[in-house]
A = this chain, B = another copy of it.
Amino acid sequence: MHLERIDPEGRGRFAFLAYDQGLEHGPEDFRGNPEAVSPRLVLDLAHAHGYTAVVLQQGPALATRDLHPDVLRLIKLNGKAGIAKGDPYSPLLCPVEYAVKALRAVAVGYTLYPGSEHEGRMFAEFAEVVRQAQAFGVPAVAWVYPRGKAVQNDTAPEVVAYAARIAYELGADIAKVKWSGTLDSFRWVCESAADTKVVLSGGVLTEDPREFLDVVDKVMKAGGAGVAVGRNVWQRPRAAAAAISKEIITRVRM
């Protein structure tokens, strides 16, 4: 466990600014705020507002290697396009060593889809990512989204709690999971993660920022360790993105 790289004071609070949606969803996510099509916006926001780290794939990390050297980077190690249907497989695209040595990663991320017929390859890859992250002294963050025929509702409390637990069992330092709907159920999600910290997956843009901020409040009260937010920030114009960033970071109280 090497959380000190992204949490030097040991406060156990994290606010990640997620920017891997260009691969996962495509540029349609940037249509409403075209400035967001370049990673410069999120790097500026992280620089100005003190996000724990910006989440980038290999490509944007390479292209912006020299921008805002003060902004920490969590490199997302696996990914897939959002085109194909069927049970998802998100392969390792970038090894931990390259992320750390060439892309200045101080943390690494990997998405797990438990319940997919390809679950085993992702579990095995992530378990190895955990060991590599240990070796290179950076924390491993698991995005965990149960999928597949047996998953009727991927925000049901028992499904989200299972997601958090899987992250713990495989050795993740931090689990990123969906909102389970209520403060009480999310408390069980956080307890299920045992020693692994739980952060909220920001999800789709809520028109009224207070709606999202209210969820953040509940996450923190439930024992959550923070958020990994993307669209709820950078799908707003720069001024509104700055405003909600301040609110988020205040609530996470890092």
Contact = CB atoms under 8 A, between A and B. Distances in A.
Interface of A: 1, 20, 22-23, 26-28, 30, 34, 37-39, 57-60, 62-64, 79-81, 83-86, 89-94, 98, 102, 114-117, 119-121, 123-124, 127, 130-131, 134, 146, 148-151, 158, 161-162, 164-172, 188, 191-192, 194-196
Contact of A170 (B1, B58, B83): B58
B130 A58 contact: yes
Nearest to A19: B169
9 contacts: A27-B161, A34-B191, A58-B127, A59-B168, A59-B196, A60-B169, A81-B162, A83-B119, A92-B124
Contacts of A191: 27, 34, 37
Nearest to A169: B23
Contacts of A115: 81, 83-84
A192 B37 contact: yes
A2 to B, nearest CB: 11
- Lowest 7 CB-CB distances: which A-B pairs, in order? A83-B115, A63-B195, A26-B162, A27-B192, A23-B169, A59-B171, A93-B127
Nearest to A61: B171
A116 B165 contact: no
Number of copies: 5
Contacts of A168: 22, 59-60, 63
A144 to B, nearest CB: 10
Contacts of A22: 165, 168-169, 192, 194
A151 B83 contact: yes
Contacts of A39: 194
Contacts of A30: 192
A162 B119 CA distance: 26
